Structure 1
Amino acid sequence: MRNIINEMKSEILEIFDYLHRHPEISWEEWKTTQFIKQQLLKEGYRVQTFADCPGVVGEIGSGALTVGLRSDMDALWQEVNGVWQANHACGHDAHMTMVLGVAKLFHRIGYKPPGKLKLLFQPAEEKGAGALKFVEKGVVDDIEFLYGVHLRPIQEVKSGYAAPAILHGAAQCIEGRIRGVAAHAARPHLGVNVIEVGSAIVQELSKIHIDPQVPASIKMTKFHAGEKSANVIPDYAEFTLDLRAQTNEAMDQLVEGLNHVVKGIAAIYDAEIELSANARIVAANPDPQAQQFMEHAIIDTLGKDKCLPPVVTSGGEDFHFYSFKKPALKTTMLGLGCDLKPGLHHPQMTFRREDLLVGIEILAKTIMETFEHFPLQGEAEGEYLAAKN
């Protein structure tokens, strides 16, 4: 297998270069969709796209067991060398390249899965909504094992190493609005200054305490109040809060604490404070069997000493919505070392592109291991189907 992958190296890197040069932000990945569709059709995959959103599902084979492999598609919108633009600074171009690489590898080696293989190219991961859209469309309804992949920063996993699971935390973005009372700056006692209210919120957030053994944070990341006139007590403000927690339970506690803080401050200042929650990212819950299959693939590819324990990270990933919404779905995500620096979401992020070949090999072996060792023959298949139904 490795020799075939090495022979594909130039083709794989060309695909990455194309995807890197043609980034598209969340819900606008239409050209990316068409490119992936054509690549899958070339390799003999059945392809499904959608009229109301970007995204591609490719599949081959049929049978009782369905295994899925998912990649995200969207780029970030950020300033690069002084220009605001779409930019692949989170590795989604690499993820698409690796999943396409698996598709091409299986075609080259003539691998016929003893079941159905589905490749999911999902939009809008950065919005925390793409996985939910695929769940809504029933894309994962027939899948038993679903695997993902994400490049890891050099601080977490170095090149030549990999982890069979990424323990992402829960994440929540909450927007707020404060309504006070406008007044002349010379008569502040006649108004309710929304900047003072916002400052009080920031101070009180630090007093929300949960179990210190569970990593968690809540902080204000945006605040806007007042306009051109400097001698007016502002009566309206908008702000954004970013919440992070390693577990879903800790996230619930943060939200409860926030609501308590906001209610108290609103009463103290006689202000109106409204909160509205955007998409919440749930914490990872990798399946032990899926993790074991991926661990075997990593060891077979890199050696036992290069297989790391699951990576704990404060970042979020909407991949984990799949198992959250479908509890019977067995999932895990490959954490691939590639000397990525200076970090994810940095506009100048770089990594060792040659490690894409390593990722392809690990993912391909994980899929083959799953089909090979999951019971599907004779009496075992009958028992499996009976339990499934």
Structure 2
Amino acid sequence: MDNTNLRLDRRLLDIFHYLHTHAEISWKETNTTAYIADILRSEGIACYTFDDCTGLVAEVGSGQPVIAVRADIDALWQEVNGTYQANHSCGHDAHMAIVIGTIFSLKDHVKKGTVRFIFQPAEETGGGALKMVKKGVVDDVDYLFGIHLRPAEELPFGKMTPAIHHGAVAFLKGSIAGHDAHGARPHQTVNAIDVLSAINEQLKWIKFPPFESYSVKMTYMEAGGQSLNIIPGTGKFGLDVRAQKNSVLLDMQKEVEKKLDGLAQLLQVNIAYDWIDVTPGAEVSPEAEEYLRQGIIQAAGKDRLAPPLTTSGSDDFHFYTIERPHLKASMMGIGADLKPGLHHPDMTFDKRAIQLGVEALAATVQQALQGAE
């Protein structure tokens, strides 16, 4: 690594450390947005923010083609060492540092075409990408690239994949509306705990062919209070529904609705529900995947190249291609010795992966600019 890269690496580590220690949750990334904008403007990079949401867009170069790169900027809200706080346990702090480093690398080397950098809010809630689509930030984009650190169990340190085939996911929030009764008079109400138990059991009877990858499970339930002699008539619950294919997820949602409506009729109780944060599975462009493949090889050599990765996790990155079918997109996975796993409150990774990501992403963008001319 030459002296220029050494200086870049140290500066990026400082940027990463700031972002890591100043994490902000979805739609609240105000300081994060301002911090990134200040850094880029100090480098003479054109960027703009939004009046009604967090996030920002930066550009290098002008004209066609338009190559876009997306970084997610929000953190999770979770308990860390006994305290609830915003926490970058999904690696978004690293993603931001990698994309900022890519801007530094490319800012004086884009001779033809535009490279647009989208610092997107609210990936964790599944709505940030849709907001950026509505803002028109990808309407004229030819290729879009994303990045994500991968757990050690999926990808070893230094290996990079040109495509992550995320699954589709939908979350459901539901409620049971009834009335409480005295513990000595169970005939006067429908016990919400019994209803919750019945829902949980019915979910296990949702079956699809074994060659499809899918799961449905209850991840939240609430009923009852401090008084143990009261039978609760009301309750709340939440479901996590996943499938590798978007079409299978849609079928699963219909089956879940049938189960809930059937139980409501059978048990004579009001079960209300709403689907929230539905995130589609990956629609990977072969052309975009190939540019990432060539960028990885150019930057790091064939030994670093890993095959495309399939994971049951999800990412709202794939809304871009669902909403704008003309868009050719793929997401690069970066092996970072990430342990114990994504979303674990004590997640750690090898920081050298930041520089590896910068070099591979910058090479990919140059490949796409040349190939899309």
Q: What interval of TM-score do these two structures reach, taking the shorter chain for normalisation?
A: over 0.9
Aligned equivalent of 2:10? 10
Aligned equivalent of 1:219? 217
Aligned equivalent of 2:292? 294
Aligned 1:1-389 pairs, distance under 5 A: 4-107=4-107, 110-374=108-372, 376=373
Q: Cα deviation per residue 1:143-187 (whole Å; 9 max; x = unaligned)?
A: 110101000000001111010011111111100011234322222
Structure 1 Cα separation of the partners of residues 340 and 61 of structure 2: 41
- Structure 2 unaligned blocks of 5 or more: none
Give the partner amino acid of 2:247. Answer: E
Query: Secondary structure at 1:8's aligned position in 2?
Result: helix
Aligned-pair distance for 1:189? 2.0
Structure 1 residues 114 and 299: CA distance shift in structure 2, 3 A = same
Structure 2 Cα separation of the partners of residues 209 and 242 of structure 1: 15
Q: Cα deviation per residue 1:292-327 (whole Å; 9 max; x = unaligned)?
A: 000011122232233111111111101100001000
Structure 2 Cα separation of the partners of residues 198 and 2 of structure 1: 61
Structure 1 Cα separation of the partners of residues 234 and 126 of structure 2: 28
Structure 2 Cα separation of the partners of residues 291 and 39 of structure 1: 30
CA contact (8 A) 1:5 1:361 kept: no
Structure 1 residues 123 and 2: CA distance shift in structure 2, 3 A = farther
Using the size of structure 2 for normalisation, the TM-score is: 0.97
Aligned-pair distance for 1:3? 6.0
Give the partner amino acid of 2:189. Answer: G
Structure 1 Cα separation of the partners of residues 296 and 36 of structure 2: 26
CA contact (8 A) 1:154 1:340 kept: yes
Give the partner amino acid of 1:328. Answer: H
Q: Cα deviation per residue 1:14-53 (whole Å; 9 max; x = unaligned)?
A: 1111111111111111111111111111222211101111
CA contact (8 A) 1:6 1:357 kept: no
Aligned-pair distance for 1:217? 0.7
Aligned-pair distance for 1:2? 6.6
Give the partner amino acid of 2:281. Answer: A
Aligned equivalent of 1:384? none
CA contact (8 A) 1:68 1:119 kept: yes
Structure 1 Cα separation of the partners of residues 370 and 2 of structure 2: 19
Give the partner amino acid of 2:44. Answer: G
Structure 2 Cα separation of the partners of residues 180 and 9 of structure 1: 59
Q: Percent identity?
A: 45
Give the partner amino acid of 1:138. Answer: G
Structure 2 Cα separation of the partners of residues 100 and 303 of structure 1: 23
Give the partner amino acid of 2:39. Answer: Q
Aligned-pair distance for 1:211? 2.1
Aligned-pair distance for 1:358? 0.5
What RMSD in Å do the two structures reach over aligned CA positions? 1.3
Aligned-pair distance for 1:230? 1.3
Give the partner amino acid of 1:192. Answer: V
Give the partner amino acid of 1:219. Answer: K
Q: Which runs of structure 1 show a deviation greater than 3 angstroms over 4 or more consecutive aligned residues?
A: 1-4
Using the size of structure 1 for normalisation, the TM-score is: 0.93
Give the partner amino acid of 1:333. Answer: M
